[in-house]
Chains A and B, each alone.
Chain A
Amino acid sequence: MLAASWLLSPVSVAPNRIVAGESYGLVAAIGWPGGLLVTLLFLAIGGLAIAPSRTHYYAQLGIVTLALLLMPFGLMVAGHWLIAADLPQARLGIGAAYWTVLFLLMLCLVELRLRLGLSRLWTTLLLGIVVGAWLVCASQWLENLALVQEFQARDQQFYRALVQHIALVSTAVSVSVVAGLILAMLMRRYRRLQKVSFALLNFLQTIPSLALFGLLLAPLAWLAANVPLLAEMGVSGIGTTPALIALIAYSLLPMVRNTYIALEEVSPDTLEAAKAMGMRASQRFWQVRFPLALPILLEGVRITTVQAIGLTAVAALIGAGGLGTFIFQGLGQAAMDMVLLGALPILVLALIVDASLGALADVLRPGGH
């Protein structure tokens, strides 16, 4: 971490959006006192690791959190020092060292969480504080930062894309949850259906996403042209319809597989006891089989949602909108910060979903079992 912060450049400054920025070292960016502080913090983390104990882990946790909280301030200092007031177009880019340190600090956090056996709630709370501090800093004092500038230039567009992205993902996931549940229940009744469906869903999963979007283009365009009702409903070769169809097709496999396994894995002894106590078939399903399957079923929802969040980015290519729009626009214009404007929220979205659904599954486990 030390090596990264000294050898790689934490920030770069570009006079405008397109020109590649000039890199600055640690001292140049935040001065000697700042450099010293960073070094001391990292040395402390390293020093505490030599003699591991619970108290040391807690101390490390504190320092890592502090370092994470201080990181935006480093950017603010750098912005203040490096950017001349007479260059309003100039912007601060985030450099390799900054990303590396951020990544390593996160890694430390994950490791410490595992070693200390902290609950998900605590980690989420801690990360929430850090992210909150970051957002406040970004909105108040970091107007020089390229990422912030990209955002401010198109905040309406950003919010629209974010809503679109979430809408696409939630529609696709909720459809596949319902379809997955129905299909899994049918598969339990008709064993033959099981082989056929899994083969088909597995096959769908192997088609590259871009190819599937492309494949859907022609038939949907034809349908829209020939069936006026569908065209009125907004069906067309590009846009939301093919994106949703493809997203649902991809989401079905993990959803069906998990739902099926979840329902099948409930202990036969428990189910027999339920029957012997005089529970009706519907009572056995809704009071015993389904709640016992729920944690594994939610695991399926989690995997499906995280996967769909990523896939929806690709759907931007066929005009479905969403955060992917910024990624592809940014790539087209060689503006890396714009790519980040699309990619970072996707990452954060995926992490939030992952954490919250994981926590929900934990809560639903009987007695924290």
Chain B
Amino acid sequence: MIELSHVSKRFGEDTAVDDISLHVAKGKFCALVGSSGCGKSTTLRMINRLIAHSSGDIILDGQLVEQYNPVKLRRRIGYVIQSTGLFPHWTVARNIGLVPRLLKWSSNDVTTRVNELMHLLGLPVEEFAHKYPHQLSGGQAQRVGVARALAADPDILLMDEPFGALDPITREKLQDELAKLQARLHKTVVFVTHDMDEALKLADHLVVMREGRIVQQGTPLALLQHPNDPFVESLLGGLERGLKQAALTRVKDHMTSLGQSLPAQARIPADFSLRQALSMMLRDHCDRLTVVDQQDMPIGELSLRKIVKEARVDKVSHRDA
């Protein structure tokens, strides 16, 4: 659990982070989004005390961060940065095993853990264990970076634009893998990015920052539905907002039971997103889809009219709440 309350950071005259309050519950994925220089990286680095905050309280698991020994604190927090920060003179295996070795694990335990993590991140041990960082592609290097951060099984993971330097295809692949990993490991993650789509895809809790302040925070869906500021709205893509919202909604949440009328020709799996459903309708020139389960058996029906209507109902119900 991470709690920031009225935290500020001043560098001389400049205020980099201005009175922010933020709560990340255990096992939740929190994304800090904003343009460069908005204070999001500074916020992240105050959590593991790479930077000392000027005022306010930062509480980890019920204790103020300054009450922890900084070295011990950092060993129980995973940290991933854009440039990976891998040690160029160490092999992949040695890089990953760093924190367990600092914690004086036995060498057998370290090896077992390193192999486990390489397996988890899709890096075949025989192929990669003895490679040096400069022999890796950007994507492979960042997998090693994530493996190193997870090595001592920390509860908290801090990630500073980890996929920012990767090409779009690799980035998307690693985002998907991180989402799967998080679904299994349930770490408390604080993730800094300037890519709103990345944040929408991964986060449980979205924090939009601008000039050192938090402009708005909430679930991705809540922000998409009610951006309270033109800046947030533009970050969320303006007119694209509807589609982004649809991308976060599953088909199965909007389907109706199979009606009396003839089932539609086009079929869509129930765990696809509404955005994919809309795209399929546009492609196939139809306004109804048959929803199928994993065995390709029809289990319901999705109609364009219903999607549009429910989007409006969503809006109303959220206003009421």
Please list the residues of chain A having a beta carbon within 8 angstroms of any beta carbon in chain B. 267, 269-270, 272-280, 283, 288, 291-292, 366-367, 369
Chain B residues closer than 8 Å to A267, beta-carbon distance: 83
Would A366 and B72 be within 8 Å (CB), given that A273-B86, A275-B50, A292-B88 are in contact? Answer: no
Q: How far is the CB of A339 from chain B (nearest CB, A)?
A: 46
B71 and A280 form a contact (CB under 8 A):
yes
Please tell me which one of the listed residues A269, A277, A369 contacts residue B75 in the complex, with CB atoms under 8 A apart.
A277
Would A277 and B102 be within 8 Å (CB), given that A367-B132, A367-B134, A369-B132 are in contact? Answer: yes
For this complex, 18 residue pairs linking A to B, each with C-beta atoms less than 8 Å apart, are A269-B81, A269-B84, A270-B86, A270-B87, A273-B79, A276-B48, A276-B81, A277-B99, A277-B148, A278-B71, A278-B74, A280-B71, A288-B87, A366-B88, A367-B132, A367-B134, A367-B135, A369-B132
Would A277 and B98 be within 8 Å (CB), given that A270-B87, A270-B88, A366-B89 are in contact? Answer: yes
Top 7 closest pairs, chain A to chain B, by CB: A273-B85, A367-B132, A278-B75, A278-B74, A366-B89, A276-B79, A269-B83
A279 to B131, CA, bound (A): 23
A292 and B50 form a contact (CB under 8 A):
no
Is B90 interfacial (CB 8 A cutoff)?
A: yes
A269 and B74 form a contact (CB under 8 A):
no
Chain B residues closer than 8 Å to A274, beta-carbon distance: 85, 87
Would A272 and B85 be within 8 Å (CB), given that A277-B102, A278-B74, A279-B102 are in contact? Answer: yes
A369 to B136, CA, bound (A): 13
Q: Report the nearest A residue to B85, measured CB to CB.
A: A273
Contact with A along B68-103 (1 / 0, CB 8 A): 000111110001010111111111000000110010
Please tell me which one of the listed residues A276, A280, A291 contacts residue B89 in the complex, with CB atoms under 8 A apart.
A291
Q: How far is the CB of A276 from chain B (nearest CB, A)?
A: 4
Tell me the number of A-to-B contacts counted with CB atoms below 8 Å: 65
Chain B residues closer than 8 Å to A283, beta-carbon distance: 102
Q: How far is the CB of A7 from chain B (nearest CB, A)?
A: 52
B72 and A278 form a contact (CB under 8 A):
yes
Please tell me which one of the listed residues A275, A288, A366, A367 contacts residue B74 in the complex, with CB atoms under 8 A apart.
A275
Chain A residues closer than 8 Å to B90, beta-carbon distance: 366
Please tell me which one of the listed residues B50, B87, B88 contacts residue A276 in the complex, with CB atoms under 8 A apart.
B50
Q: How far is the CB of B15 from chain A (nearest CB, A)?
A: 23
A269 to B161, CA, bound (A): 13
Chain B residues closer than 8 Å to A276, beta-carbon distance: 48, 50, 74, 79, 81, 85
A366 and B99 form a contact (CB under 8 A):
no
Chain B residues closer than 8 Å to A275, beta-carbon distance: 50, 74
Chain A residues closer than 8 Å to B81, beta-carbon distance: 269, 272-273, 276
Q: Report the nearest B residue to A279, measured CB to CB.
A: B102
Q: Report the nearest B residue to A276, measured CB to CB.
A: B79
A94 to B132, CA, bound (A): 51
Chain B residues closer than 8 Å to A273, beta-carbon distance: 79, 81, 84-87
Interface residues of B, count at CB 8 A: 26
Q: How far is the CB of B66 from chain A (nearest CB, A)?
A: 16
A366 to B71, CA, bound (A): 27
A288 to B135, CA, bound (A): 19
Q: How far is the CB of A227 from chain B (nearest CB, A)?
A: 48
A347 to B86, CA, bound (A): 42
Q: How far is the CB of A288 from chain B (nearest CB, A)?
A: 6
Q: How far is the CB of A267 from chain B (nearest CB, A)?
A: 8
Q: Give chain B interface residues in 87-139, CB to chain A under 8 Å.
A: 87-91, 98-99, 102, 131-132, 134-135
Chain B residues closer than 8 Å to A367, beta-carbon distance: 91, 131-132, 134-135
Chain B residues closer than 8 Å to A288, beta-carbon distance: 87
Q: How far is the CB of B140 from chain A (nearest CB, A)?
A: 14
Q: Report the nearest A residue to B130, measured CB to CB.
A: A367
A269, A288, A367: most-surrounded residue (chain B CB, <10 A): A367
A49 to B298, CA, bound (A): 77
A273 to B78, CA, bound (A): 10
B50 and A272 form a contact (CB under 8 A):
yes
Q: How far is the CB of B42 from chain A (nearest CB, A)?
A: 13
B89 and A269 form a contact (CB under 8 A):
no
Q: How far is the CB of A124 from chain B (nearest CB, A)?
A: 24
Would A270 and B71 be within 8 Å (CB), given that A277-B102, A366-B90 are in contact? Answer: no
Q: How far is the CB of B277 from chain A (nearest CB, A)?
A: 43
A278 and B99 form a contact (CB under 8 A):
yes
Q: How far is the CB of B84 from chain A (nearest CB, A)?
A: 8
Please tell me which one of the listed residues A270, A278, A366 contacts residue B85 in the complex, with CB atoms under 8 A apart.
A270
A279 to B91, CA, bound (A): 18
Q: How far is the CB of A352 from chain B (nearest CB, A)?
A: 27
Q: Report the nearest A residue to B145, measured CB to CB.
A: A273
Q: Report the nearest B residue to A369, measured CB to CB.
A: B134
Q: Report the nearest B residue to A367, measured CB to CB.
A: B132
Chain B residues closer than 8 Å to A280, beta-carbon distance: 71
Chain A residues closer than 8 Å to B98, beta-carbon distance: 277, 279
Chain B residues closer than 8 Å to A272, beta-carbon distance: 50, 81, 85
Q: How far is the CB of B134 from chain A (nearest CB, A)?
A: 5
A283 to B71, CA, bound (A): 11
Q: Report the nearest A residue to B135, measured CB to CB.
A: A367
Chain A residues closer than 8 Å to B50, beta-carbon distance: 272, 275-276
Chain A residues closer than 8 Å to B91, beta-carbon distance: 367
Q: Report the nearest B residue to A288, measured CB to CB.
A: B87
Q: Report the nearest A residue to B79, measured CB to CB.
A: A276
Chain A residues closer than 8 Å to B88, beta-carbon distance: 270, 292, 366, 369
Other 19 A-B pairs with CB < 8 A, given A276-B85, A277-B99: A267-B83, A269-B81, A270-B86, A273-B79, A273-B84, A273-B85, A274-B85, A275-B50, A276-B50, A276-B79, A277-B79, A277-B102, A278-B72, A278-B102, A283-B102, A292-B87, A292-B88, A366-B132, A366-B134
Q: How far is the CB of B221 from chain A (nearest CB, A)?
A: 33
Chain A residues closer than 8 Å to B48, beta-carbon distance: 276
